[in-house]
Structure 1
Amino acid sequence: MELDYKAIGKRIKIARIKADLTQEKLSEMVGVSPTHLSNIETGTTRVSLNAIVNIANALKITSDDLLCDSVIKAKVQLEQDIALVLEDCDEYEIRVIRDIAAATKETLRRDAHLRKQTDAY
Structure 2
Amino acid sequence: MPVNSKAMGRRIKAARKKASMTQARLAEEIGMSEVHISNMESGTGNPSLATLVDIANVLSVSTDELLCDSVICCKPVYEKEILETTADCDDYEIRILSYILKAAKMALRENGDLRRLP
TM-score range, shorter chain: 0.7 to 0.9
1:13 aligns with 2:13: yes
TM-score (norm 1): 0.84
TM-score (norm 2): 0.85
Match in the other structure for 2:95: 95
Secondary structure, aligned partner of 1:45: coil
Match in the other structure for 1:24: 24
Unaligned runs of 5+ in 2: none
Count of aligned pairs: 117
**1:62 partner letter:** S
Deviation at 1:91, TM superposition (A): 2.3
Q: Matched residues in 1 for 2:58 and 2:77: separation? A: 19
Secondary structure, aligned partner of 1:57: helix
Secondary structure, aligned partner of 1:65: helix
Deviation at 1:75, TM superposition (A): 0.4
Unaligned runs of 5+ in 1: none
Q: Matched residues in 1 for 2:108 and 2:14: separation? A: 30
**1:15 partner letter:** A
CA RMSD of aligned residues (A): 2.1
Q: Matched residues in 2 for 1:84 and 1:66: separation? A: 16
Give matches, 1:41-120, under 5 Å. 41-112=41-112, 115=113, 119=116
**Structure with the greater alpha carbon radius of gyration:** 1
